[in-house]
Amino acid sequence: MDLCERDARCLWHPYSAWGADLPLFGVRRAEGVRLYLEDGRELIDGMASWWCVIHGYNHPVLNAAIEHQLRDMAHVMFGGLTHEPAVALAERLVAITPDGLDVVFFADSGSVAIEAAMKMAIQYQVARGEPQRRRFLTPRGGYHGDTLHAMSVCDPVTGMHGLFREVLPQQLFVERPEPAFGQACEARNLAALEAAFAEHAGELAGVILEPIVQGAGGMRFYSTDWLRAVRALCDRHDVPLIADEIATGFGRSGRLFACEHAGVTPDILALGKALTGGYMTLAALLTTPKIAGTIAGGEPGLFMHGPTFMANPLACAVARASIDLLLDSPWQMRVDAIEDALRRGLAPCADLPHVAEVRVLGAIGVVELTEPVDMKTVQPRFVEHGVWVRPFGRLVYLMPPFVIDREDLARLCGAVVEVVGELAVRGGRCVPCNASI
């Protein structure tokens, strides 16, 4: 019995039905930008393992950081104890994030970080004597994770969590930012946003959004003016701004943090994914002394959150090494080169009748189709082309490791152009022309 057959007997994969006859590919090892399959094939990874493996796989510097830390300790509880990897990582994060974010709270995943950020904002409001402020305002088209409160601020109509709508806290939504990245906002683009603040500011615990790049909710890039307007409205109405940079942090958008495109500093910043270079699960929240101090001064005088594996020493050690590796590299030049190659390489898709739009920002390239892709038939076509590309919904996209070279990037783009070019709309889905459905 091979690996995939054994898998099918006992494993349930993300966003899939157990027992479904969907394509599955066993990975034997990974190195650089390549995945080596059990059947001997090798694939160029265009996903960076859901956007986190920015340095590529099996990197000697990150391997060494894990090995060195393992000799001292793999884990120790963070309640009442501390350790050098956590302190050093926190110091590094404070130094490289926007000024004023001086307090760090570690969590164990992106979704948990969003839960903690929302709890932090609610507890801040309670501590300052405004317990009625318990709802969150967010733009449609967002995605913030799969846990309950995180789901409540994902898009309630086009998002992935409509099944749970009746059990989720009811949040406040404004239309997704209309002007695209690089476009100016006009007054009409901000009218609904301003009206929402005017009507609901008194009940808002906070505003939560993905700065500049809306990720899994649609892979859209929006105007810096819109983000600056949100920051100004939050200041005017004394509402904390939570920036979810779990996907965009550490260079993916072309800036170290996407907030930098607009010159905006949030009150709470959530980081994850590329934080450890894809080696271990870890997330971090950074906030201001004002928010942390207000919570400390209120009842019960402490922040009511504490994951068991918070500040895991192995994860903190590799995260610190990953940040140093990034900042010591020509990452900006690499991301700029990827952006240029994606623009040129994906451009032919724009002429296809079933393609709605092609858009690129930083190391993110997106081909949006007019209909959803049929994963059962489309995914194997990419593997046949020697690349790992994992579409979702109507989106075929690339987020490669930053270390990818020109030739491999050209092969990735070429595979996308070829596979998308052979699709046709049948039965409300995009399938290969010769596929039987």
- Please enumerate in sequence order all residues whose Cβ is within 8 A of that of 125, keeping only pairs 6 or more positions apart, or say none: 131, 133, 134, 205
Q: Report whether pLDDT(437) > 70.
A: no
Q: Residue 334 and residue 341: Cα distance in Å, rounded?
A: 11
CB 242 within 8 A of CB 266: yes
Q: Report whether pLDDT(160) > 80.
A: no
Beta strands in 89-219 (DSSP E): 103-107, 135-139, 172-174, 204-209, 213-214
Q: Quick one: tokens of 297?
A: 């001064």
Q: Residue 370 and residue 357: Cα distance in Å, rounded?
A: 9
Q: Residue 280 and residue 270: Cα distance in Å, rounded?
A: 17
Q: What are phi and psi of 436, to 5 degrees?
A: -100, 130
In the structure, what pLDDT confidence band is assigned to residue 344 with cuts at 50, 70 and 90? very high
Q: For residue 286, give the amino acid letter.
A: L
- Which helix (H) or strand (E) element contains residue 151? helix 148-152
CB 389 within 8 A of CB 396: yes
pLDDT given at position 434:
78
Q: Report whether pLDDT(17) > 80.
A: yes
Domains and CATH numbers, the chain: 3-58+330-432 (3.90.1150.10), 63-327 (3.40.640.10)
Which residues does the annotation mark as catalytic?
Answer: 15, 143, 244, 273
Mean pLDDT (the chain, rounded): 95
Tell me the β-bridge partners of 138. 173
pLDDT given at position 159:
67
Q: Residue 172 and residue 204: Cα distance in Å, rounded?
A: 9
pLDDT given at position 15:
86
CB 112 within 8 A of CB 92: no
Q: Report whether pLDDT(263) > 70.
A: yes
In the structure, what pLDDT confidence band is assigned to residue 436 with cuts at 50, 70 and 90? low
pLDDT given at position 228:
98
Tens of pLDDT, residue by residue over 364-415, are: 999 999 999 999 999 999 999 999 999 999 999 999 999 999 999 999 999 9
CA distances, 432 to each of 11, 366, 373 (Å)? 28, 19, 9
Interaxial angle between packed helices 84-96 and 313-327, expressed in degrees from 0 to 180 and rounded to the nearest 10 = 40
Buried b (16+ CB within 10 A) or exposed e, 162-189: eeeeeebeebbbbebbebebeeebeeeb
| Chain centroid, CA 422 distance in Å | 29
Q: Report whether pLDDT(162) > 80.
A: no
Lowest-pLDDT choice from 34-43, 130-139, 164-173: 164-173
254: three-class secondary structure by DSSP: coil
Q: For residue 284, give the amino acid letter.
A: A
Query: For the residues 286-315, what does the mean pLDDT come to?
Result: 96
pLDDT given at position 29:
98
| Chain centroid, CA 267 distance in Å | 19
pLDDT given at position 50:
96
In the structure, what pLDDT confidence band is assigned to residue 227 with cuts at 50, 70 and 90? very high
Count of other CB atoms within 10 angstroms of residue 145: 24
CB 361 within 8 A of CB 213: yes
Count of other CB atoms within 10 angstroms of residue 353: 7
| Percent of the chain that is helix, strand, coil (3-state, to 5) | 40, 20, 40
